[in-house]
Structure 1
Amino acid sequence: MESELTSFTEKLKATSSNLNNMSATVENPTVPLVQSNGQPNYTSTEDDMEKGAAAKKKGRKKWSKFKQTRFENVGEMLAQRKELFRKRRNVSDVAFVTGLVGIILMIIHTELIVADNDYTNTSAAAIVLKVFITLSTIDLIGMVIWFHLIDLKLYMIDNGMQDWLLAISPQSAFQISLELIICAIHPIPGDIAFQWLSYDFQNESQVTVQVPLDVVLSIPMFLRLYLLCRVMLLHSKLFADARSQSLGALNKTKFTFYFIFKSLMYLHPVYVMVVLITSIFLIGSWALRVCEVDHAVLHESYWNSLWLVAITFLSVGYGDIVPHTYCGRAISVSVGMLGAGCTALVVAVLAQKLELSRAEKYVHNFVIDVELDKKLKNSAARILGYGWRIYRARKNGENEGIIRGYQRKLLKAIDNIRKTKQEQRKMVDSQVTVLEVYKNQSFISDAVENIITKQDDIEGAVETMKNQVGHIGRKLDELCRVMANRKERRDTKRSDAAGGQGHQADYLTGGDE
Structure 2
Amino acid sequence: MELPDRGQRRCKSIPASRVAFSSPLYPTILGLRENAIRNRRRCVYLKCLMASIGMVFMVVEGELFISKAVEKNSLTSNALKAVVSISTAFLLGFIVLHYKYQRQIERYSNQSRTLRCCGEMLLEILVCIAHPFPGSMKIPKPLQTMTKESADLTREYVHVDGYLSLFLVFRFYLFCQVTSEWLSSKLFSNRTLAKHLAGLTRVRLNSAFMMKYLLFRYPFQFVIFILLIVLITNSYAMQTCESYTFPGSEMSSFLNSLWLVMITFLTIGYGDFYPVSFCGRCVSAATGFLGIGITGFIFSVFVHHFEMNRDEKYLLKFSTEERRKHRRRVAASNVIKCFYKAAKCKGEKSEYLTYKERFWKAVGVMKRSAKKCRNQHDIDLIDIQRTVQDIEKRQNEIHAILCEMRASMKTDENSNKKSPQ
TM superposition score category, shorter chain reference: 0.7 to 0.9
Structure 2 Cα separation of the partners of residues 310 and 276 of structure 1: 14
Whether 2:138 is the aligned partner of 1:192: answer: yes
Q: CA deviation at 1:277?
A: 1.0
Write out aligned runs for 1:65-464 (5 A).
75-116=27-68, 118-159=69-110, 167=112, 169-189=114-134, 190-200=136-146, 207-208=153-154, 209-236=156-183, 237-239=186-188, 241-242=190-191, 243-293=193-243, 294-295=245-246, 297-384=249-336, 409-410=361-362, 412-414=364-366, 416-418=368-370, 420-421=372-373, 425=376
Q: Counterpart of 1:254 in 2: which secondary structure?
A: coil
What RMSD over aligned residues (CA atoms) do the two structures have, in Å? 4.2
Q: Counterpart of 1:282 in 2: which secondary structure?
A: helix
Unaligned runs of 5+ in 1: 1-19, 42-71, 161-166, 429-439, 462-513
Q: CA deviation at 1:215?
A: 1.6
Q: Cα deviation per residue 1:224-244 (whole Å; 9 max; x = unaligned)?
A: 121112212222223563243
Q: Cα deviation per residue 1:12-35 (whole Å; 9 max; x = unaligned)?
A: xxxxxxxx9xx64x5335734xxx
Structure 2 Cα separation of the partners of residues 29 and 213 of structure 1: 62
Q: TM-score, normalised by structure 2?
A: 0.75
The answer to whether the 8 A contact 2:132-2:165 is kept is yes
Q: Cα deviation per residue 1:181-220 (whole Å; 9 max; x = unaligned)?
A: 1111001223323213333556996755532111211111
Write out aligned runs for 1:19-58 (5 A).
24=16, 26-28=17-19, 31-32=22-23, 36=24
More off after superposition, 230-239 vs 252-261: 230-239
Q: CA deviation at 1:96?
A: 0.9
The answer to whether the 8 A contact 1:182-1:220 is kept is yes
Unaligned runs of 5+ in 2: 1-11, 380-386, 409-421
Structure 2 Cα separation of the partners of residues 422 and 344 of structure 1: 40
Give the letter for the 2:285 counterpart.
V
Q: CA deviation at 1:365?
A: 4.1
Number of aligned residues: 381
The answer to whether the 8 A contact 1:234-1:240 is kept is no
Structure 1 Cα separation of the partners of residues 261 and 109 of structure 2: 46
Structure 1 Cα separation of the partners of residues 353 and 144 of structure 2: 85
2:413 is matched with: none
Q: Cα deviation per residue 1:273-323 (whole Å; 9 max; x = unaligned)?
A: 121111111111111111123348221221111112112222333333222
Give the letter for the 2:240 counterpart.
V
Structure 1 Cα separation of the partners of residues 145 and 353 of structure 2: 82
Cα gap change, 1:329 to 1:391, in 2 (>3 Å)? farther
Cα gap change, 1:140 to 1:204, in 2 (>3 Å)? closer
The answer to whether the 8 A contact 2:238-2:280 is kept is yes
The answer to whether the 8 A contact 2:334-2:359 is kept is no
- More RCO (CA 8 Å, sep 6+): 2
